[in-house]
Amino acid sequence: MGEVWRAYDTVTDRMVALKVLPAHFASDRTFQQRFRREAHAAARINNPHVVPIHTYGEIDGRLFVDMRLIEGRDLATVLASAAMPPARAVQIVEQVAQAVYAAHKIGLVHRDIKPSNILLDEHDFAYLIDFGIARVVGETGLTGTDAVVGTLRYMAPERFRVGEADARSDIYALACVLYECLTGGSPFPGDSIEQQVAGHLSTPPPRPSDSGAPPAFDAVIATGMAKDPERRYATPVDMARAARDAITVPLSVPDPNTQSHTVTAPARTHEASWPDAPTEPAQKPPHRDPSQHMVGNRTRVKRPWLVAAVIAVVVASGGASVYLLRAHTSTPGSTQTTAATAPPSAPSGGGTPSAGLTAVPSGPPTIAASIRVGNGAFGVGVDSAGHSAYVANTGSSSVSVVDTTSRTVTATITVGRHPVGVAVDPSARTVYVTNFDDASVSVIDMASSKVIAKISVGSHPGGVVVDPDARIAYVTNGDNASVSLIDTTTHTVTATVPAGKGPSRVAIDRTAHRLFVTNTDPTVTVIDTSNRTVIGSVALRVHPAGIAIDSASHTAYIASGDDASVSLVDTIGLGVTASVPVGQRPAGVAVDPPTNTAYVANYSGASVSVIDTTRRIVTGILAVGNNPLAIAVDPTTHFAYVSSDLNHGSLTVIER
């Protein structure tokens, strides 16, 4: 309904998506009332997987909605060629489920969930669009027609019977989308209205295993597409969780004392083996009060496009043998260790090992703990001296302070809207946090755990890195193709340097005095930090994601999400010197020079690849929480900290 244009907003100086409705709708007072109510309701949804509405109204006799412009393609286009791997299908459905659940919690039903209304950006971040035909549950009388709105192939049977939709109808539609992702075809065959209506009303839910999908998905689809709405999942998040369980196989932990390890490079995909199909049909969910269809337990808010805005963290730990470990989920603030021996205690200061430093470890890294933090864990920074880790929680607009010794959350600090990047200034004892939707940076005092300054920067700030020697913090401005330079003494912006299109991550070679900024061009902008000028650009084959730099070897490690690899760039010669295959959709990167190791967070692979930086090969794979995004390392203990599990928000600890 209507046309969507790529437009330039002269007031806010940004490109937007402008949806313009046909002229006759503006003359219909009933429709105009419905349009304004529904646009207002949709604008209230606070979830990263819903395209934000900037404004709406009428101009020159046409109703319009001004929305954020998303670069990407819709899911229908992706599925036109073939079905997708189960892991990718689940990842996309999980994101859409979060958007739908956020709408349900404020009483809004989408009513038209289908592949063409799901946009995917370059990192497979999903956006649910077109809430323009949704309506607030219980607000009857505004539609002015008995026509059923939506697409037949994804419509719940009750909509054909009574013409009404509630939250359970959206769950049914999402199950249809999951089926199509797994099989490449719609749930019921036929192009006529009669065939589709008959299929939804009387044909049993299809079995995706008949088309080659893992058998465990049969029960997921059977429950999600149950004819009786009461037999479906309680929430879309519950259905997404069941889909995740369908591809999850418990993994055993190897004996840490085992002496023999096989060293191989990992495959380019890391999907779990398919579990056997259940021998009994899915159990009927417990009876729920109808009022519970719209309200449930609060879940995380995950920032979709923020995968491209997450901070490039600094250093990480690694290993020397291939293994596969699964992190254990802990209750908030608790820890679980998988190794038989207790972790070494964190050192108290600098110097040689005899002066209190832990010697550089040589054994393979292991998953030590999973610490519950805030919703939507993104950027991570570590303060070695203060034995603390800082995690940006984009879903709750806060920062969790984690005691790295006790592995508990000791404070939660409110910052700006949707924080994504974190950088620690060890000299000034401060932490810099980029607030994606505030165009600002919050400065946290470590001693008091309070925000002591809020600095205005460019639109959609993402990556941040601090140079303690120069007393400058560098912040990427995603919408302005620039980098802001902040004086860490006065907390003011002192300069703005141009970058490429859509700058997102940033890292610094402190010995070469060069700043590297990843752009969506796909290029990397190189800035001379001594004179604040652009001195070069590195062209890449695909869009870069995370970046980390080993200043000693003058090597930048750049994650290339589209081809599941990490590119190694000479920070002096500015050329690509090698490419290392890693897991699916690598996002965050970190290096730990003393152990000759790099870590790579594989966003779609729910894993971390460990790279031997000397041999430039992957020597280990660690299974962590879903959607790992960022990694930071304590350079003293060589423990790595990985943000993951965006559904709840957790920090996985990797020790050696």
Cα–Cα distance list, 328 to 251, 367, 445, 537, 566 (Å): 11, 8, 32, 42, 27
Distances (CA, A) of 634 to 283, 377, 400, 451, 525: 46, 18, 17, 23, 28
Q: With beta carbons less than 8 A apart as the criterion, state whether 548 and 598 touch.
A: yes
Tally the residues of the chain.
656
Q: For residue 515, how many other CB atoms are within 10 A of its CB?
A: 27
Which one-letter DSSP state was computed for residue 274?
Answer: P
- Rounded to an integer, what distance in angstroms lies between the CA atom of residue 287 and that of residue 297? 16
Can the peptide bond before residue 304 be classed as cis, meaning omega within 30 degrees of 0? Answer: no
SS (H, E, C) 425-458: ECCCCEEEEEECCCCEEEEEECCCCEEEEEEECC
Give, in order, the Cα–Cα distances in Å from 362 to each of 159, 320, 399.
62, 8, 32
Closest CA to 556 of 542, 535, 543, 570: 570
35-to-102, 118, 144, 167 alpha-carbon distances in Å: 20, 21, 12, 20
DSSP 117: G
User: Edge-to-edge strands of the sheet including 3-9?
Assistant: 3-9, 14-20, 62-68, 53-59
How far, in Å, CA of 601 to CA of 610, rounded?
Answer: 9
Which residue do the tokens 């005899």 mark?
Answer: 354
Active-site residues: which are they? 112
